[in-house]
Amino acid sequence: MSDQKTVLEEVFGGSSDSDTEDDEQQQHLEEDLFPSDEDGSQSNVSQKSSWQRFEEIGGLCLCRDFLSPEEQSYLLSAIQNEGWFTDTSHNQVMRFGDLPMWATKLSDSIREEVLLSDDLPINDGDKDVCILPSDLLWREPLFDQLIVNVYQPGEGICPHVDLMRFEDGIAIVSLESSCVMHFTQVKEASATGEGRIDNPHAVKIPVYLTPGSLVIMSREARYLWKHEINRKQGFQMWEGEVLNQKKRTSITMRKLCHVE
């Protein structure tokens, strides 16, 4: 674990400190977000949700109704209670290793959502296509790195492929404002990221992210497609309508590659 922290600190700097939370208040919040069954066990997902695949982008899956409005509100409260964004100049926080309890529960909920999916593996040549390959779905922990971003209207993310310091299988949860994320294919890349070059003739594939939605990127979507959110005026449109841009919060969860 110390080696992993050293790697991330070299890349990103130290993780942000949070104020000490009142245990009872935090426990109440987590119970509201992830209610328990009568026997006391956690029941993170109340019903099966629908998943959308994208024919052009292998390994990209979208679950629009991952979180209910109430669950979104509780999650935003948990983030606020961390005290990370009291300074308006701060719009990003990274944590790695031991994540906050609410983030660990969110990770468990993502796993359960995938397991409860009605989708069965579809044979695609010599490999099965599924929401998340079993070797990734059952790794422990599923995620050990967390990024929370707060975007004001007009702020977005530049086209990029996530660093190769992180394993396959990345999850993004969207909160508050809706937006369109665009995916653009790159020509080629190895598992280490070497040899990746832009495709000048690539077409951008739009993906509409609503509040409470979950995006999972694996395989080609993770390594061979850049993703971006351009929230400048005129770029955020869906079905011919300009989206009303408000503050948007996103939670990205990743797994750090093992360091020998």
- pLDDT tens digits for range 63-78: 999 999 999 999 999 9
Q: Is the pLDDT of residue 9 over 70?
A: no
pLDDT in tens, 36-69: 444 444 444 445 568 999 989 999 999 999 999 9
CB 236 within 8 A of CB 248: no
Question: Torsions phi, psi of 246, nearest 5?
Answer: -125, -175
Q: Determine, yes or no, domain membership for 25.
A: no
DSSP state of 253: E
CATH number at residue 78: 2.60.120.590
Q: Is residue 67 part of a domain?
A: yes
pLDDT in tens, 118-141: 554 544 443 446 788 889 999 999
Q: Residue 51: how many CB atoms within 10 A of its CB?
A: 19
The domain of 176 spans: 49-119+129-187+203-256
Looking at residue 129, its pLDDT comes to 62
What pLDDT is stored for residue 166 in this prediction? 96
* Residue 133 belongs to a domain: yes
Q: Of 178, 182, 177, nearest to 159 (Cα)?
A: 182
* pLDDT, mean of residues 226-245: 85
Q: Which of 19-33, 68-82, 90-104, 154-168 has the lowest mean pLDDT?
A: 19-33
Q: Does residue 237 lie within any of the structural domains?
A: yes
Length of the chain: 260
Q: Which residue has the higher pLDDT, 154 or 83?
A: 83
How high is the mean pLDDT of the chain?
Answer: 79
Q: Does residue 226 form part of some domain? A: yes
Across the range 192-207, mean pLDDT stands at 67
Model confidence at 22: pLDDT above 50: no
Distance CA 198, CA 201 (A): 9
pLDDT of residue 136: 93
| Residue 27: inside a domain | no
Compute the average pLDDT of residues 195-219. 83
Give the mean pLDDT of 169-180: 95
List, in order, residues 6 or more apart from 1 with CB less than 8 Å away.
97
Confidence label for 11 from pLDDT (cuts 50, 70 and 90): very low
Domains in the chain, number? 1
Looking at the domain assignment, is residue 196 inside a domain? no
CA–CA dist 182, 159 (Å, integer): 8
Whether residue 134 lies inside any domain: the answer is yes
- The pTM for the full model equals 0.78
